[in-house]
Amino acid sequence: MVDITFKTFTLRKAIAAATIKTSAISTVEAVKNGTVPKGNVLEFARASALLAIKKTSDVIPDCHPLPVEFAAINYEMSGLDINITVEVHTIYKTGVEVEAMHGASVAALVIYDMLKPIDKNVEISNIRLLEKQGGKSSQKNIETQNLTAAVVVCSDSVSQGIKNDTSGKLLVESLSNQGISNVDYSVVPDDVSAIQEKIESYKSKGCNLLVFTGGTGLSDRDVTPEAVLPFITKEIPGIMETARNYGQDRVKTSMLSRGIAGFSDDMLILTFPGSSGAVKEYVQALFPQVLHVFSVKKGDGH
């Protein structure tokens, strides 16, 4: 199965359809009037589709088990056709397209089975996905080409050449992958004045995004939040709440990070932990949606 442990929970929706083609209008009339010998065709198919949606992962090997929050099966008669529409919702880490299509296909099979004694030419056609929402495919495109960014590593040992930096370089690569082509990189010791000098320098250059990595922990030398806080003109608590919550599901000590985030006038400042693993988690939790703050700040709305 595909690894989805890195993904986040979002609202996912899918709508699928299937068509039953009959060969006589009398067949459709029998369905409408409830006179099919095997029983109420549409209600049997509806119940079967609901069971199929819930059991998709049991019969499709690569599908992940997921909570089905909502499911609806609707029908429309058009000439000799019986059109089935299945809609499924979940709040999970992967989509429900296959669940919706599985429900539509089973509903179609049940209708076929119940109609074949009275219509030898009935057939199933066009099982298809009509719509999906949620996940990456539904994310709005965020303009990043004109953004400038900087990554600052806060570490005594890295600044002294005792250790090699991995988290900062990982951040530079991650921001480049988001389409931000202009990313500066530097290293400072765990020192309040050194960190604040970087903030002032990048603000004067008109930098859009400044990301610190390191110094958000609990040791006496972890001073990044204290250095950054006086420069925050508009705090955005939800950013780090989201990152810590994402991390907490994977590493129980994520709650100990003291990172803060917010605007310093027009520059967004993020403070990440110093470990490369935590940086990977924070990037996965926050990007690209965190970059939406720039259009919101300009007044474009949510």
Nearest alpha carbon to residue 103 among 122, 80, 78, 128: 128
Nearest alpha carbon to residue 127 among 85, 90, 81: 85
Find the length of the chain.
302
Q: In a 3-state reduction of DSSP, which class is residue 30? A: helix
**Start-to-end C-alpha separation, the chain:** 35
Q: State phi, psi for 92 to the nearest 5 degrees.
A: -155, -170
d(CA 288, CA 290): 6
Whether 92 contacts 57, CB under 8 Å: no
Biggest CA–CA distance in the chain, Å, is: 86
Q: Which helix (H) or strand (E) holds 282?
A: helix 276-286
Residue 83 CB contacts under 8 Å (≥ 6 apart), including other chains: 17, 18, 19, 20, 75, 76, 77
Residue 27 CB contacts under 8 Å (≥ 6 apart), including other chains: 80, 115, 118, 119, 122
d(CA 255, CA 250): 11
Residue 214 CB contacts under 8 Å (≥ 6 apart), including other chains: 153, 154, 155, 158, 167, 190, 224, 272, 273, 274
Residue type, 274: G
Task: Clarify whether 113 is annotated catalytic.
Answer: yes
Q: Which of 113, 156, 184, 191 is an active site residue?
A: 113
Active site residues: 113
